[in-house]
Chains A and B, each alone.
Chain A
């Protein structure tokens, strides 16, 4: 029979291609599997980007409108009315520089927290490495970031802010922001599968986190004795890093490595928790 010939040539004698066993103890990340599905990762990211502004009149302009409007509001309230110091930098660009990484972080975090629950039908019907879902939901915010970054470049010229070689370090801080969002997002997305409370927690978390990060104000307002505690927030490092690299203000010191360490910890623990819970996602979602 021709039947068997075809398949046996596809699959020579030996080990099974895939073995399915109960999950016990620590689990590997199955990175090869993740690599195998890299096209899906890109497609899901692309889908989110493409669908994001579907049926909106202004379309991708929203990517610029949101940070600009926030900047205007902050400038009026914190810059004009409250007269918060901005380290000698014009307040609008002072806050806009911080808003870009902050909104990148906040959008990514919100997206990834809801990502698994939002992909319910996929999870219960198809196999693919579940890690793809939160990762793919973090990436679209980068496109918004890129668009609104163009506005920042315009502002830098408008305010005659000299650029230095420090700008070369910017990608590092960008990576840090994405990593923080992913790390926290991994935890929240997996928790959200079992506890839908997370959905209501996230808006407060981002709001609170924003005030704990020097987005609208300068970190120089923080008393020296609280500095250490304050610096534990990785987003402080990111925002200060952005100001430092682009505006020459801000403060980047050894604390940045504490931030990196903390992000690393959250990321590793988030991955472990995620992989542990992964086996039951389809059952409880």
Chain B
């Protein structure tokens, strides 16, 4: 088996939550903790230090020259896997064999120092990524012209525009020549044209016989780059195989975009929600793109006349945070009188402020401040993907629950 590049066997990484998860403990806390722990133990609170496996018995092999995509939801263990493979953190169990020099690119511009010039930073960043001085010197001109920063080589990078900064940082990384390259979502930076350039460079690397491991939420990039794909879920490898197959598997697993209540309407219930579905162009769909719209359709039956009833929904992200909510009264006011019969409520949801990821919608109906009519919690789910809008992709590295593309003006003086 001489053509193996990476062999992962029974890999596990355990993290503690609770107890010592707060990273910056103080002496006092840890002393108090030690004093308190026997008492806690006596009380039977033995699970004080809860643990969880960020990686759980992960095994796979990658051949030399293969480009592998790693996909999965947030918290599925992708980043932890990359961290272990790039030796940033040690595993708790199992082992990894790497047959070749590894370079990992988990962030663009790691170790850049804002006071140093572009030239200095190229050497510094190159060394941090594991390049030898001579190697950087040899590729120096190539790096500079790839980054298009010739004129500003001797300017401290703190005066660079963010675009220049990112270009320079990626350019250094792109000229690494390891046998195994590990890349995290770094393509999600820069403008569209530069992204294309980066993707092209990555393809060259992959076609040049190097092994590439690539994590991304951008399915299009994964499809373009990788022959084989690993789907991670809850710290485990849930699928490995040909990219197209794994991606469609990922997009379809437990994503229920239509919910129909089967049970009959209970007695004395004035309003009964019996169906919720997500539509794209009139068709039930579970995958949406953030450039488009989602049509939320709620069907209900009303058994007696109600005044002032509303249908409302909440959109929750993977962390179970409510991103926003909306009600049918937002625009019509409260005066609607609903006569008995079947109703269909529809709402067009503009997705352009949402980050990519998985979302749930829970639906409820009430007469505000009077009574709750019906609740359906977390019953429809959809996946939101990036399409190539540069603003949204750029935004994936930012903090915040939503992404807004806001108009800016700059005035001098």
Contacts and interface: CB of A to CB of B under 8 A. Distances in A.
Contacts of A253: none
B256 interface: no
Given A16-B98, A51-B115, A3 B65 contact: yes
A125 B100 contact: no
B15 A283 contact: yes
Interface string B255-271: 00000000000000000
Interface string A246-277: 00000000000000000000000000000000
B120 A50 contact: yes
A5 B209 contact: yes
Residue from A7, A10, A47, A124 with most neighbouring chain B CB atoms (10 Å): A7
Interface in A165-201: 194-197
Contacts, number: 145
Contacts of B100: 7, 10-11, 17
Contact of A4 (B3, B99, B104, B207): B3
Contacts of A279: 89-90
Given A121-B110, A122-B111, A18 B209 contact: no
Nearest to A127: B87
A17 B102 CA distance: 9
Given A11-B64, A125-B106, A279-B90, A196 B26 contact: yes
Interface stretch (B35-43, B123-131, B393-401): B123-131
A122 B109 CA distance: 10
B23 A127 contact: no
B88 A125 contact: yes
Q: Assign chain B's interface to a size class.
A: 35 or more
A55 B115 CA distance: 9
Contacts of A224: none
Contacts of B94: 21-22
B30 interface: yes
Contact of A43 (B110, B123, B179): B123
A126 interface: yes
A282 B88 contact: yes
A128 B23 contact: no
Contacts of A10: 100, 179
A19 B97 contact: yes
B379 interface: no
B246 interface: no
Residue from B2, B89, B97 with most neighbouring chain A CB atoms (10 Å): B89
A2 interface: yes
A192 B98 CA distance: 32
A49 B165 CA distance: 23
Contacts of B211: 7
B209 A20 contact: no
B95 interface: yes
B322 interface: no
A229 interface: no
A285 interface: yes
Q: Assign chain A's interface to a size class.
A: 35 or more
B90 A20 contact: yes
A197 B83 CA distance: 28
Contacts of A18: 87, 97-98, 102
A122 B102 CA distance: 17
Interface string B25-50: 11110100000000000000000000
Contacts of A81: none
A47 B116 CA distance: 8
A1 B92 CA distance: 38
B375 interface: no
A123 B83 CA distance: 11
Given A121-B111, A196-B24, A4 B95 contact: no
Nearest to A279: B90
A17 B24 CA distance: 35
B64 A4 contact: yes
A3 B107 contact: no
Contact of B179 (A11, A194, A285): A11
A43 B127 contact: yes
A66 interface: no
Contacts of A80: none
A126 B111 contact: yes
B3 A197 contact: no
B85 A20 contact: yes
Given A22-B90, A121-B111, A196-B26, A17 B207 contact: no
Contact of B2 (A13, A128, A197, A284): A13
A13 B113 CA distance: 40
A126 B176 CA distance: 14
B93 interface: yes
A17 B101 CA distance: 7
Contacts of B95: 19-21
Contacts of B207: 3
A47 B120 CA distance: 9
Contact of B30 (A125, A195, A282): A195
A257 B28 CA distance: 37
B179 A7 contact: yes
A126 B91 contact: no
14 contacts: A3-B209, A5-B209, A8-B3, A8-B64, A12-B2, A16-B97, A19-B97, A20-B98, A39-B127, A125-B88, A126-B104, A127-B87, A194-B25, A197-B26
In the complex, the 6 A-B pairs of residues with the closest C-beta atoms, listed nearest first? A6-B209, A16-B97, A3-B65, A13-B2, A127-B87, A20-B96
Interface of A: 1-8, 10-14, 16-23, 37, 39-40, 43-44, 47, 50-51, 54-55, 121-128, 194-197, 279-280, 282-285
Given A19-B98, A47-B116, 17 more contacts: A3-B207, A3-B208, A4-B209, A6-B65, A6-B209, A12-B2, A17-B98, A17-B100, A18-B98, A18-B102, A20-B84, A20-B96, A43-B127, A122-B110, A125-B88, A283-B15, A284-B20
